[in-house]
Structure 1
Amino acid sequence: MYLPAEWEKQEFVQLVFPHENTDWIDYLDEALNTFVNIAKSIAKYQKCLIIANNLTYVKSLFSNKNNLIFVKINSDDTWSRDLGGITVDDNGKKVILDFKYNAWGKKFAYKLDNQITMQMKLKGLLKGYYHKSISFVLEGGAIESNGDGIILTTKQCLMEKNRNPTLSQNSIEKRLLEYFGASKILWLNSGYLEGDDTDSHIDTLARFVAKDTIVYQSCDDIEDVHYEALKEMENELSLFKQLDGTSFKLIALPWIEAKYDCDERLPATYANFLIINGAVLVPTYDDKNDEKALQIFKQIFPSRDVVGVDCQTLIRQHGSLHCVTMQYPKI
């Protein structure tokens, strides 16, 4: 058993669309436009499952519905990466591990979101997959797999007491090794982004792009509040070892100038990209380094298209492209 890497073949990507009862209400049209752009970008390459409260209206936003699957399921919010099932490969069987979701330590409403994966099963959307409910709080954005037995995560997130308060780090590590058939857990102690609600999800900071390669969000502005913590994270990454004892190749992603909503710093990061069949979707922020980031991804993934997606609206709710999507490995 293992947790497939994101670059492995996928069946579909899940999106949960915003609606008038979510925190997107003040700029709902902008948010819907962003979600439509993401769905269209995915649908050029593979199937995209769209979950919506107001199904008729959401369908009307698309003139071309090729590769799009629509289903009505009620939701509290839109963060598919964290409320979605995490799929492992068990000797060829794809098993969706349906972990408990509590909105990053009960920070927001979550009861509807916690039921979405089960609702997908009941509505027949998960045919070909096995389903297993697990009484352990874990979000997809909290873990990264290199597809070769290594899981990357952050201590700040998984040890946050409103998730699994009775468990020690050692107990949590044993569970991760068991759930994902992993051989090694790499724990980051450093790195964060202001404005992040997730207690430093790994998918905002450092990501696998190959079994031996990690990209990470760097900061070269010594005056920025993130500079020291991200430098410490960079040093930690340089000390991590693969299963054979060799170091990982590291690729730095350029820094993004501070983005604000009123006086609130927003967690913009290029590390929140999404790999799909034949392409990599990269968040952009109308920043001077957007094009530089896109060029880095083109060098990393020469056989895939690299598609920039404007995520300025997403960061106003403290997430980005990877946070609102969840891929399901090919059956």
Structure 2
Amino acid sequence: MKKLTSTPKQDGFRMPGEFEEHDGCWIIWPERPDNWRLGGKPAQHVFVKVATVISEFEKVTVCVSNAQYDNARNMLPDNIRVVEMSNDDSWIRDCGPTFVTNGEEVRGVDWSFNAWGGLVDGLYFPWDKDDHVARKVCEIERKNRYRLDDFILEGGSIHVDGQGTLIVTEECLLSEGRNSHLSKEEIEDVLKEYLNLEKIIWIPRGIYNDETNGHVDNIIHYVEPGKVILAWTEDKNDPQYEICQEAYKILSNSTDAKGRKLEVVKLMLPANILITKEESQGVDGIDGTLPREEGDRLAASYANFYIANGGVVFPTFNDPNDEIARKTLQSCFQDRKIVGIYAREILLGGGNIHCITQQQPKSKK
């Protein structure tokens, strides 16, 4: 497939909102022993549940290494496509392609990936296999792609409304380990060209202690154009409280590319989740990777959910706010089925439900 030298904006392509219709969903199988406890075995069962639920709404493809191919194929239902693909870890929303469309064709944007900060504060080294994932997905789906060799970006660091507006965090996109050679204005210029944007809304920070440098997908989520969900706490003693307050103030006073004032829905956070001694000891300690230490606070949030064609799949944590989160999501997505999946094992690996959407050529009206 072609590597294009133009930009999506020049060609009339845009990144759709996650709430628009999908052709399918991609996931990477967890197995890395210095990130996933017990070689990823507990997390693999949760990934099977995530993939199975999403497959009720749309096609699902799971990428898996050669060593784990037979195991994954045996564990996953037959209706889920399994493809062999080398990778460094399972965060495909971050290393996979960003799909863009002009209403008739879908293409991929292949950003450079450096494990959330490279040699400055990245989470592992090397990351070259992950940096090839976007290209491989585009090849399998036979999509032409735009490749940026000199711009670092993860899919979890951006949220768009599909109508020209993007929300990001300064904590992430301005971090030293990504594009420190560029100014804030230069970063905006790249994003506007490759996502086809007119306006970018910056909030200062993401979820407290998020090892991705505050990815926006863990603190806010677009529901529809002009409406966002914001992770929220009322605990003034929690360092997350100030972060939520500043984000709410900015978002509720912002207008989007179409001149609409944003509606902000508060989504309560679960209580603090800490790594136990048993969980910490189940992770291999290897130089060059971020350790999982007993007592570490995990960046738990319900905002990192996945919008499928007819449903919403969100993480639960055996917390009283699980049900409050479900009701909040149902009020925002009245025509979709809301499904919660106990996600502690995914959270222990450093994230929540992590998928990329493969958009349909025809935009949802």
Short-chain TM bin = over 0.9
CA deviations on 1:255-281 (whole Å, 9 max, x unpaired) are 210100021000000110000110000
What corresponds to 1:269 in structure 2?
Answer: 301
2:24 counterpart of 1:12: yes
CA deviations on 1:88-146 (whole Å, 9 max, x unpaired) are 11353211001111111121131111111222344xx212x222212211110011010
The separation in 1 between residues aligned to 2:136 and 2:205, in whole angstroms, is 37
Which of these residues, 54, 57, 60, is aligned with residue 42 of structure 1?
A: 54
- By how many angstroms is 1:65 displaced? 1.0
CA deviations on 1:128-176 (whole Å, 9 max, x unpaired) are x222212211110011010111011111111112111210000000111
2:194 counterpart of 1:179: yes
The separation in 2 between residues aligned to 1:317 and 1:98, in whole angstroms, is 24
Which residue type is aligned with residue 351 of structure 2?
A: G
What corresponds to 2:269 in structure 1?
Answer: 255
TM normalised by structure 2 equals 0.85
- 226-235 or 201-210: bigger deviation: 226-235
CA deviations on 1:164-192 (whole Å, 9 max, x unpaired) are 12100000001111111111011112443
Q: Counterpart of 1:104 in 2: which secondary structure?
A: coil
- 2:269–2:321 CA contact under 8 A, matched in 1: yes
The separation in 2 between residues aligned to 1:254 and 1:20, in whole angstroms, is 31
Which residue type is aligned with residue 317 of structure 1?
A: G
What corresponds to 2:180 in structure 1?
Answer: 165
After superposition, residues 236-255 of structure 1 pair within 5 angstroms as 236-255=250-269
Which residue type is aligned with residue 192 of structure 1?
A: I
- By how many angstroms is 1:21 displaced? 4.8
The separation in 2 between residues aligned to 1:133 and 1:37, in whole angstroms, is 33
- 108-117 or 78-87: bigger deviation: 108-117
- 2:98–2:109 CA contact under 8 A, matched in 1: yes
Which of these residues, 316, 323, 326, is aligned with residue 356 of structure 2?
A: 326
- 2:314–2:340 CA contact under 8 A, matched in 1: yes
2:60 counterpart of 1:58: no
- 1:193–1:226 CA contact under 8 A, matched in 2: yes
What corresponds to 2:98 in structure 1?
Answer: 86
Which residue type is aligned with residue 323 of structure 2?
A: E
- By how many angstroms is 1:73 displaced? 0.8
Aligned residues: 323
- 1:150–1:182 CA contact under 8 A, matched in 2: yes
2:312 counterpart of 1:312: no
- By how many angstroms is 1:71 displaced? 0.7
- 102-111 or 267-276: bigger deviation: 102-111
Which residue type is aligned with residue 202 of structure 2?
A: W
The separation in 2 between residues aligned to 1:222 and 1:260, in whole angstroms, is 19
Structure 2 unmatched ranges of 5 or more: 1-12, 276-293
The separation in 2 between residues aligned to 1:203 and 1:20, in whole angstroms, is 23
Which of these residues, 208, 211, 214, is aligned with residue 228 of structure 2?
A: 214
The separation in 2 between residues aligned to 1:18 and 1:274, in whole angstroms, is 18
- By how many angstroms is 1:244 displaced? 4.2
Which residue type is aligned with residue 238 of structure 1?
A: S
Question: C-alpha root-mean-square deviation of aligned residues, in Å?
Answer: 1.4
Which residue type is aligned with residue 210 of structure 1?
A: E
Structure 1 unmatched ranges of 5 or more: none
- 2:204–2:247 CA contact under 8 A, matched in 1: yes
- 50-59 or 23-32: bigger deviation: 23-32
2:238 counterpart of 1:224: yes
CA deviations on 1:228-256 (whole Å, 9 max, x unpaired) are 12111111111111234332111000121
**CA distance 1:121–1:244, shift in 2 (3 Å):** closer
Q: Counterpart of 1:235 in 2: which secondary structure?
A: helix
- 2:111–2:148 CA contact under 8 A, matched in 1: yes
Which residue type is aligned with residue 346 of structure 2?
A: L
2:314 counterpart of 1:290: no
The separation in 2 between residues aligned to 1:251 and 1:14, in whole angstroms, is 28
Which of these residues, 102, 114, 128, is aligned with residue 131 of structure 2?
A: 114
Q: Counterpart of 1:302 in 2: which secondary structure?
A: coil
- 221-230 or 170-179: bigger deviation: 221-230
CA deviations on 1:22-53 (whole Å, 9 max, x unpaired) are 52143622110111011101111111111001
What corresponds to 2:87 in structure 1?
Answer: 75
**CA distance 1:73–1:21, shift in 2 (3 Å):** farther
- 1:22–1:76 CA contact under 8 A, matched in 2: no
Percent identical among aligned pairs is: 27
Q: Counterpart of 1:291 in 2: which secondary structure?
A: helix
TM normalised by structure 1 equals 0.94
- 198-207 or 240-249: bigger deviation: 240-249
